[in-house]
Amino acid sequence: MRLILPLFLLLVLTACESLVNEVDPDKLPKVDKKIVVQCYISPQDTLLKATVSLSKAVLGTNDNTYFADYKVTLSEGNRSIELKFNQALFAFVADPGQFPIETGKTYRLRVQGQQQSVEAVCTVPPPVTLTSIKLDSVRRSDGPSGSPPWEYYIRASWQDPAGAVNFYRLAGDYEFLQVTTNSSPGRPPTQNSQWNLNQIGFQNNNSLISDQGQDGQVLTSQRGYIYISSYAYSSSSGGSVYTYSSVAKRPITISVYLLHVDPAYYSYHHALELQNAIENNPFAEPVLIPGNIQGGLGCFGAYNRTTKTVVLK
**Would the pLDDT of 58 be above 60?**
no
Nearest CA-CA partner of 36 in 48, 18, 54: 54
Question: What would the pLDDT profile of 186-195 be if each residue is shown by its tens digit?
Answer: 788 888 999 9
* Highest mean pLDDT (candidates 119-128, 271-280, 285-294): 119-128
- Rounded CA separation 172/307 (Å): 9
Nearest CA-CA partner of 230 in 189, 179, 281: 179
SS3 9: helix
Section 139-160 average pLDDT: 74
Section 266-284 average pLDDT: 81
Question: What would the pLDDT profile of 193-239 be if each residue is shown by its tens digit?
Answer: 999 999 998 866 678 999 999 999 999 998 898 888 777 777 777 77
DSSP structure class, residue 239:
T
Of 161-175, 229-243, 265-279, least confident by mean pLDDT is 229-243
Pairing of strands 106-112, 91-94: unpaired
Share of the chain above pLDDT 70, in %: 80
Residue 251: cis peptide before it, omega within 30 degrees of 0? yes
SS3 260: strand
Q: Where are the domains of the chain?
A: 27-125+262-313, 130-258
- Rounded CA separation 217/312 (Å): 29
**Would the pLDDT of 149 be above 70?**
no
Question: How does the average pLDDT of the chain come out, rounded?
Answer: 83
- Rounded CA separation 175/177 (Å): 7
The pLDDT, as a whole number, for residue 12 is 39
**Would the pLDDT of 80 be above 60?**
yes
Section 15-36 average pLDDT: 57
- 52 touches 66 (CB < 8 A): yes
Q: Which helix (H) or strand (E) holds 245?
A: strand 240-261
- Rounded CA separation 88/67 (Å): 13
Which sign, positive or negative, has the C-alpha torsion 25, 31, 35, 37? negative
Nearest CA-CA partner of 139 in 147, 149, 129: 149
The pLDDT, as a whole number, for residue 148 is 53
Among left, alpha and beta (phi > 0; psi -120 to 50; other), residue 298 is: left
- Ramachandran angles phi, psi of 268, nearest 5°: -65, -50
Residue 45 neighbours by CB distance under 10 Å: 18
- Rounded CA separation 117/112 (Å): 4
Question: What would the pLDDT profile of 86-135 be if each residue is shown by its tens digit?
Answer: 999 999 999 999 999 999 999 999 999 888 899 999 999 999 999 999 99
Section 1-14 average pLDDT: 45
Separation in Å, CA 222 to CA 123, 203, 209: 27, 6, 9
Question: What would the pLDDT profile of 45-54 be if each residue is shown by its tens digit?
Answer: 999 999 998 8
The pLDDT, as a whole number, for residue 207 is 84
